Amino acid sequence: MVRIPEAHYLYGSGVLTMRVTDVGADLEKYPRLEWVGLKGVEIRWDGSNGDERQVMVRVGVLVVEGVVGREGSPG
């Protein structure tokens, strides 16, 4: 599960919480990507499942939060 601040994903409003089911690129193969597509299920404020979502997310926020790893970094 990831929590993505509004400024770091396209398109939506507010913090997005989602359970990721697919990542649109291999960050090990393409380590210089700035944005990556994520597919998953939005998690509502009450913890229940929402709609399926596809969003573009800044890779930097995922790496900083330890969601995905890059060579030499935790994840």
* Structure confidence at residue 65 (pLDDT): 54
pLDDT higher at 37 or 63: 37
* Structure confidence at residue 64 (pLDDT): 56
Binned at pLDDT 50, 70 and 90, residue 66 comes out as low
pLDDT higher at 22 or 66: 22
CA 51 – CA 31 distance, rounded (Å):
30
pTM for the whole thing?
A: 0.76
Each domain of the chain, given as residue ranges in start order, spans 2-64
Quick: pLDDT tens for 10-62. 988 999 999 999 988 887 788 788 999 999 999 999 999 999 999 999 988 88
Longest dimension (CA), the chain: 37
